[in-house]
Amino acid sequence: MPSDNFQQFVLLFFLGLGLLLAAVMNVALRIAPTSHRAAGTMLAGGAALFACHLFEGDADLTRTVAIVWVAITIPVFILGTDTGTRWLVAVAERSKRPQAAWWCCGLLGVLTIALAAARYEGREESHVDAQTAELESLANLNRRTTPTLSRSETFFLRTDGGANVNVWEPVRKRSASEQAQVEERFFREVWNRDHVIRTAPPDDSVNCYGWVFTGGRFWIAEADVEKILDHNDYQDVNDPMPDDLVLYRKGGIVVHLAVVRYTAPGRSPIVEGKWGFNSVHLHAADMSPYGRELRFYRSPRAGHLLAGLPNRESPPLEDDRTE
C-alpha cells in the first residue's frame, strides 16, 4: 500500500492536471459556444481522472479527485458566463443585507455539522471493516499456504466434569522456513508487528486452545472451548488477574484464547497466546487481530491442563485418519 503522503501527492497532482487541462480548453475555446466549452471542460476532467486511475488504480482516490475537481470547475465555469456574472452581482447585492449574511452563516453551520457527522460515521465504519478484514485475513491465510494435515488421536482428553475432548496433531508439518514465510506474510498483510512481543516461534503442532489446555501438545477445536470452560468451573470476571484466561469472540463465536500474564491499574492486561499456526505473542489484551469482543475467565482449579494428557515419553499411537 502506498503511504498517505504519496496518495496526497497523487491526488493533488492529478487534480492540478485536470484544472490545468480545463483552463487550456476554455482559453482555446473562448469564442466557442457555451456547450462546446462545457464539453471541452468535461473532456479535460475525464482525461485527468482516467490518467489518475491508470497510474494509481485506487477507486477511492480517483473518486476524491473527481469530487474536488467538479467542486472547483463548476463554479468557475458558471461564473465565466454572462448568466453566472449577473447571478454573482445579484448575490452580492443581496448579501449587503445583514439577514442574508447570517442566513449564509447558518447554512454553512448546517453543512459543517452534516460533513462532520458523515466523516465520523465513515471512519467508524472503516474501523469496524478493518477489524473484520483482519480477522477474516487471519482465518483465510492458511488457505494460501501449504496445508497442515491433521489426524484425530485415538484417545480423548477429559474435562473435570468427565466430558471427552477430541484432540489432533499434524500428519505433515510445515518446515521452519515455510512457517517463517507464513508469519512474515501475516504481519505484512494483517497486523502491526510493533504491537506484540514474540515469546515462541511459529509451530503448527498446536493452536491457541491446545496451547492453553494441552500445554502445547495438541490441537483442540473451537467447538470444545465453551464446554471446557463450563465443565472446569471457569467464571466470567471483570477484574482479570495473572493466569486468568481471556476469550475472544466474533459475533458470539469463539475465535481465540490467551492467558493473562500481567495487570496494572487503568491499563489493558498483558496476555500471552498462540496465534493460530503462527508464533506465541505477548500483547495488550485489546491489541490483537482478534478484535475487542473479549471476556476474562477464572477457575479455582490448579492450572488449565485437561485430564488424560499422555506422558511425553510415551506418545500416543498414530493412525491414518486425516482431517
Q: Does residue 126 sit in the same domain as residue 209?
A: no
pLDDT score recorded for residue 229:
96
Q: 83-102 burial, b for 16+ CB within 10 Å, e for fewer?
A: eeeeeeeeeeeeeeeeeeee
pLDDT score recorded for residue 304:
96
Q: Does residue 74 sit in the same domain as residue 180?
A: no
Structural domain ending residue among the three candidates 112, 136, 160: 136
DSSP-based helix, strand, coil % in the chain, nearest 5? 50, 15, 35
| String of DSSP letters for 224-246 | GHHHHHHHTT-EEESS--TT-EE
pLDDT score recorded for residue 38:
82
Q: Does residue 35 sit in the same domain as residue 130?
A: yes
Q: Does residue 160 sit in the same domain as residue 279?
A: yes
Closest CA to 262 of 254, 253, 252, 272: 272
pLDDT score recorded for residue 3:
45
Q: Does residue 31 sit in the same domain as residue 96?
A: yes
pLDDT score recorded for residue 150:
59
Whether 316 is covered by a domain: the verdict is: no
d(CA 272, CA 177): 24
Q: Does residue 15 sit in the same domain as residue 104?
A: yes
Whether 216 is covered by a domain: the verdict is: yes
Whether 56 is covered by a domain: the verdict is: yes
pLDDT score recorded for residue 259:
97
Whether 317 is covered by a domain: the verdict is: no
What average pLDDT values come out for the chain (323 residues) when binned by 10 residues? Answer: 58 80 81 81 83 75 80 76 72 66 67 70 55 49 47 80 89 79 79 87 89 93 92 96 95 92 94 91 92 94 92 46 35
Give the chain's domain count. Answer: 2
pLDDT score recorded for residue 314:
43
Whether 310 is covered by a domain: the verdict is: no
Whether 28 is covered by a domain: the verdict is: yes
d(CA 53, CA 45): 12
Q: Does residue 76 sit in the same domain as residue 99?
A: yes
d(CA 74, CA 212): 63
pLDDT score recorded for residue 146:
44
Q: Does residue 233 sit in the same domain as residue 91?
A: no
Beta bridge partners of 298: 235
Whether 215 is covered by a domain: the verdict is: yes
pLDDT score recorded for residue 276:
84
pLDDT score recorded for residue 295:
95
Q: Does residue 90 sit in the same domain as residue 175?
A: no
d(CA 87, CA 133): 50
Q: Does residue 155 sit in the same domain as residue 293?
A: yes
Question: How many helices (H) does the chain have, and how many strands (E)?
Answer: 8, 9
pLDDT score recorded for residue 282:
96
Q: Does residue 30 sit in the same domain as residue 97?
A: yes
Is the whole model's pTM more than 0.75, yes or no? no
Whether 153 is covered by a domain: the verdict is: yes
pLDDT score recorded for residue 83:
73
Beta bridge partners of 259: 245, 272
Domain that holds residue 202: 148-298
